[in-house]
Amino acid sequence: MTKGVGEFEQLVLLAVARLGEDGYGMTVRREIERRTGRAASIGAVYATLDRLERKGYVAARTGEPTPKRGGRARRYYRLEAAGAENLLVARRNLDRMWEDVDLGGEAGRA
Amino acid sequence: MTRLPRLAVLVLGRLLPASHREPLLGDLAEEYADRVESGGRVRAARWLWSQVLRSVVPAIELRFASPRVLLPVARKDSIMGRLLQDLRHALRLIRRGPGYALVVAGTLSLGIGASTVVFSVVDGVVLNPFPFPEPSRLVGVGSEFPRAGLELNFWENLSPAEYLDIRDGTRALRDVVAWDMGNRQASFGDVTDNLFTAFWWGDAFPTLGVQPVLGRGFTAEEIRRGDRVAILSHRVWETRFGGARDLVGGTVLVNGEPYTIVGIMPPRSLIYGTDLWLPMTVAPEVFPRARRQFQVLGRLAPGATLAQANTELAGLAARVAEDHAAALPEYRDWRLVAMTWADINVRFLKPAALVLTGAVAFVLLLVIANVANLVLARSTSRRREFALRAALGAGGGRLMQQLLTENVLLALCGGALGVGLGVLGVRGVVSALPSVSVPVPGEIAVNVRVLLFSTLVAVGSGLAFGLLPALRARRSDLQATLQEEGHGSTGGSRLRLQRVFVGVEVALALVLLVGGGLLMRSFMRLQAVEPGFQTENVLTMRLTLPRERYSEDRIEPFFRELVRRVEEIPGVAHAATATQFPPGVFQQRRVWIEGAEPADEGTLPTAYTTLVSPGFFEALGIPLMRGRLLSEDDLPGAPIVAVINEVAARRFFPDRDPVGGRFRLSEPESGGPWVMVVGVVGSTRNRGLDSPAEPEVFASMRQVPGGNQFFLLTRTRVDARSVLPDVRAVVRGLDAQQPVYAIQTVREAYAARASTRRLSTLLLSIFGTLALLLAALGIYAVVSYAVSQRTREIGLRMALGAGQPDVRRLVLRQALLPVLVGATVGLAGAIALGRAMTGLLFEVSGVDLVTLASVTAVLLGSALLATYIPARRASRLDPLGALRFEQSGH
């Protein structure tokens, strides 16, 4: 059985999934900010990625250093099968819970 | 290329585990660079620092959560395992209630930041001002001439003959050198720079105890022959010659003449930013014995002490007086004093530095008392948590360890923030310090020692204030605590302790506020002093004409033409030249007054002698009181005339009209000419606003040759700095090779003089305000806590008929008692401090009733306010609700 993940962990996992080959700390942070308006801190993003890595939901590899980064290498993250499965389960559970719930127009406005 | 600010890298780099340091900092650098490009540096920096601050807690979490750290020590019962457990628990608590953590860490960071600033600056300016080895053995020789009214002085204080006496007549001093400072123009290719230059009799390297990076010092032969040899500073070597190794043996043009480079100084500026060292061109024997314009430096011989050197110098002074006092009466009772070079340079800064260090120690104590208060209050609300954990099997030591971990973590967070504040503060303070009081520019920074000190303070205070509640937690009795109803005996003794803290805080705050208040009043007094002339809109700069290109008879015409052309610049009202101008008047000479036989006892008359162009008085707006000013018709060949200030008129001609009186500037035996007084002008505060006006005589530079260095003074109708490009163009038009330097307005000159005073006033006022806030916060916390402890009692009283005013009075009376006790102790401390500060004050007594009264009123007012808010809350309690109130664990 896969263990449930928190909301922020889901956002990070989804950002990694969306970014494909281009997922690393900065792009993950920006992706979340761009899509949800949540200005997460880079530290929180890394703390979460680290947790997800230890759970086996994402895998990391070291990329290339660039001068713009002051010669520091990137650390790319890729979604693992367990991570994908966890996201799908979370989504299915949420969808089921949302069925027939009406909180008064929130969906209509979107 | 945009780079991350060093401080950001430092803060996060230290906190992050190695595995995440590089990618995270890289990401920050990348996005920061993007943001600088798209939104500008300011917005990017704001974003960056918000990112850094918000990443601090996750970074710590990363460090301890990383499996690479955790796995080998994951056993829960190992020390490391328990520590990690505690840390995680502490982080969770911080996340859940960030308010408490913010207040504690914020308060601590203020205390640590303030102490970092003060200790860094005091360390850089006062304790270790020079980068020399064994600084306590490098000494300067000062002189005091009581008969000439000259106090102990270490600058331009000795003549060449006196230097030789000291060099050859003392055994406790070795490597004795004499030196002078001036300006020379050095050409590097087609660039000509004005370089601040030191001239030496002797090789200064062994005296200073440093080695040249390349080459050598001056040899005795070179000095004796007056060879054209030069030593360059490390920074000139790097910026002008790219650090070329083969420079030694090469040539540099000094005032247009070729000099052979024989050495390069080690990095860092050695003496007052001098970039060029030259040997003195003339042998010391050439100068007259009374020509005192040199400084003497030496090193204590191995085994010799400063006291021995001073004993030798006293004997030497007595012998010189015996030999020469007949011809030179100022030698009677004169003294020679050796002092360490560091002490000489900081002797005027030291009192302020001591007061500030004491003040910052007080702030730190206040911070610790306050945090201890907060922790005590906090631990009360967590008693149930501790009791429960104890019931579930946690031993007393275990709970204590956890509390300590939490507090040290908070202290470290506060420490990190504080060091950040300190770095910014040090930069601010150093930029506000006058350049002359910073012996080695660019050397003052938060150094490792200070960093270590701050960390110790942070961790130490974490331990100190974590310990008390931890001890209590250990003793807490499970059953009593779980059943406690909020008025137990532990609450009472804790409250007593908190009241003691309040008393201490009030006392400390009062002392600091009085210190700040005294300096502020003193500063206001100083600002109200009339300088004696119009200080606004006067631009000043200095020119040194090289002797190689300007013979004596070409100097005055050059400056006369310069003044004429500058006066044609639109916006310029007057221009003039002078050897010195207030507030920087320093050239003092003995004068011999006609008809006043010098008494055997008493002070010999001395005056500041200033050579000026005739327009000097109009340019500065100095009013004429009697007679006439100097004029264009006072020419060489005509009788020499002078204008004197009112102080000189009163002192030298006490009972007759000074106009028409005569005096000499050299010994009567020398046959020097008489100078006739033609006018009296108003006195200016010629030694700065905090010193009384001194006698000053002004002679025309057309009649009395005055060397090759003059200040150009330009009075403008527009903003003084705005005419600078035009003035520079005029100088270039006269001589394309001639640099100008020491550019400042008279206003800036006065501000620079007051800057040390302004800075200590500002810092102490900030500390005082900080102390007031902290004390008010402490009082508020304690009274609020006391009210919450006594809710049931108050409810009962109200149910029995006590009205709202009765309750308010009850709370106020109890709360204000420690405040009053603290204020009384504080007043005693403040009076002691005021006495110690007398030397720093200007026209304000150390025990100043106005300051004491107003500060006490402000403090008591704030205390009353801090008490009144919770007192009012208590009086509005609903009696029934209060009776049902049970203190619940949160």
Decide if pLDDT at B534 tops 80: yes
Nearest CA distance, A103 vs chain B (angstrom) = 29
Residue type, B711: F
CB atoms A43 and B23 under 8 Å: no
Decide if pLDDT at A42 tops 90: yes
Phi-psi label, residue A56: left if phi above 0, alpha if psi -120 to 50, beta otherwise: left
CB atoms A43 and B59 under 8 Å: yes
- Among B23, B29, B50, beta carbon nearest to A68: B29
| Dihedral Cα B744, B700, B621, B748, nearest 10 deg | 10
The SS3 call for residue B677 is strand
- The Cα–Cα gap between B76 and B315 comes to 76
For chain B, the average pLDDT equals 83
pLDDT in tens, A74-98: 999 999 999 999 999 999 988 998 8
Q: Residues of A with CB below 8 A from B48's CB?
A: none
Instruction: Kindly indicate the confidence band of residue B487, based on its pLDDT and cuts at 50, 70 and 90.
Output: very low
Pairing of strands B229-232, B276-279: antiparallel
Task: Please state the rounded mean pLDDT for residues B318-328.
Answer: 90
Instruction: Kindly indicate the confidence band of residue B103, based on its pLDDT and cuts at 50, 70 and 90.
Output: confident
Beta bridge partners, B358, equal: none
How high is the pLDDT of residue B78? 65
- Residue that has been written with the tokens 């127009």 in this structure: A105
- The Cα–Cα gap between B889 and B63 comes to 32
Q: What stretch of H or E contains B191?
A: strand B191-201
How high is the pLDDT of residue B329? 82
Q: Which residues contact B210 (CB under 8 A, 6 or more apart)?
A: B131, B132, B133, B265, B266, B270
DSSP 8-state assignment for residue B77: T
Among A22, A46, A54, A66, most B C-beta atoms within 10 A, so best to mutate, is A46
CB atoms B30 and A50 under 8 Å: no
How high is the pLDDT of residue A108? 42
Among A41, A45, A62, A66, most B C-beta atoms within 10 A, so best to mutate, is A41
Alpha carbon of residue B87 to chain centroid? 40
Contact at 8 Å (CB) between B325 and B290?
no
Report DSSP letters for B447-472, one per residue. -HHHHHHHHHHHHHHHHHHHHHHHHH
Least confident piece of the model among A48-62, B459-473, B857-871? B459-473
Residue type, B408: V
Task: Please state the rounded mean pLDDT for residues B801-824.
Answer: 86
How far is the CA of B218 from the CAs of B205, B269, B281, B361, in angstroms?
9, 18, 12, 47
- Tell me, yes or no, if A8 comes closer than 8 A to chain B by beta carbon: no
What ipTM does the predicted assembly reach?
A: 0.89
CB atoms A47 and B1 under 8 Å: no
- Among B22, B56, B65, beta carbon nearest to A72: B22
Report DSSP letters for B592-641, one per residue. EETT-PPPSSSPPPEEEEEEE-TTHHHHHTPPEEEE----TT--TTSPPE
Cα angle, residue B239 at apex, residues B237 and B240 outer, rounded to 5°: 70
Beta bridge partners, B225, equal: none
CB atoms A72 and B56 under 8 Å: no
pLDDT in tens, B824-862: 999 999 999 888 888 888 888 888 899 999 999 999 998
**Sign of dihedral through CA atoms B379, B381, B386, B387?**
positive
Instruction: Kindly indicate the confidence band of residue B108, based on its pLDDT and cuts at 50, 70 and 90.
Output: confident
User: What's the half-sphere exposure (Cβ side, CA atoms, 13 Å) at B264?
Assistant: 23
Least confident piece of the model among B151-165, B590-604, B620-634? B590-604
Q: Residues of A with CB below 8 A from B54's CB?
A: 41, 43-44
Nearest CA distance, B23 vs chain A (angstrom) = 5
Alpha carbon of residue B266 to chain centroid? 26
CB atoms B58 and A30 under 8 Å: no
pLDDT in tens, B740-789: 888 889 988 888 788 778 888 888 888 888 888 888 888 887 787 777 77
Helix boundaries (H) for B484-600: 489-527, 552-567
Q: Residues of B with CB below 8 A from A52's CB?
A: none
Pairing of strands B674-681, B624-627: antiparallel
- The Cα–Cα gap between B776 and B558 comes to 66
Task: Please state the rounded mean pLDDT for residues B169-174.
Answer: 94
CB atoms B62 and A67 under 8 Å: no
- Tell me, yes or no, if A56 comes closer than 8 A to chain B by beta carbon: no
- The Cα–Cα gap between B690 and B523 comes to 10
The token pair that represents B551 in the structure block: 């013979």
- Tell me, yes or no, if A66 comes closer than 8 A to chain B by beta carbon: yes
Size of interface A-B (CB pairs under 8 A): 84
CB atoms B27 and A73 under 8 Å: no
Chain B interface, Cβ < 8 Å to A: 1, 3-4, 12, 20, 22-31, 33, 50-51, 54-59, 61-62, 65-67
Least confident piece of the model among A100-109, B95-104, B386-395, B692-701? A100-109
How high is the pLDDT of residue B492? 62
pLDDT in tens, B293-314: 889 999 999 999 999 999 999 9
Nearest CA distance, A26 vs chain B (angstrom) = 5
pTM of the model: 0.67
H helix count then E strand count, chain B: 28, 23
- Tell me, yes or no, if A94 comes closer than 8 A to chain B by beta carbon: no
The token pair that represents B101 in the structure block: 């953590």
Q: Residues of B with CB below 8 A from A50's CB?
A: 20, 62, 65-66
Which residue is closest to B61 within chain A, CA to CA? A47
Least confident piece of the model among B140-154, B460-474, B508-522, B572-586? B460-474
CB atoms A24 and B23 under 8 Å: yes
Which residue is closest to A76 within chain B, CA to CA? B23
Nearest to B816 by CA among B751, B880, B866: B866
B656-687: burial string, b at 16+ Cβ within 10 Å, e else: eebbebbbbbeeeeeeeeebebbbbbbbbbbb
Q: Residues of A with CB below 8 A from B5's CB?
A: none
Pairing of strands B191-201, B335-340: unpaired
Nearest CA distance, B281 vs chain A (angstrom) = 52
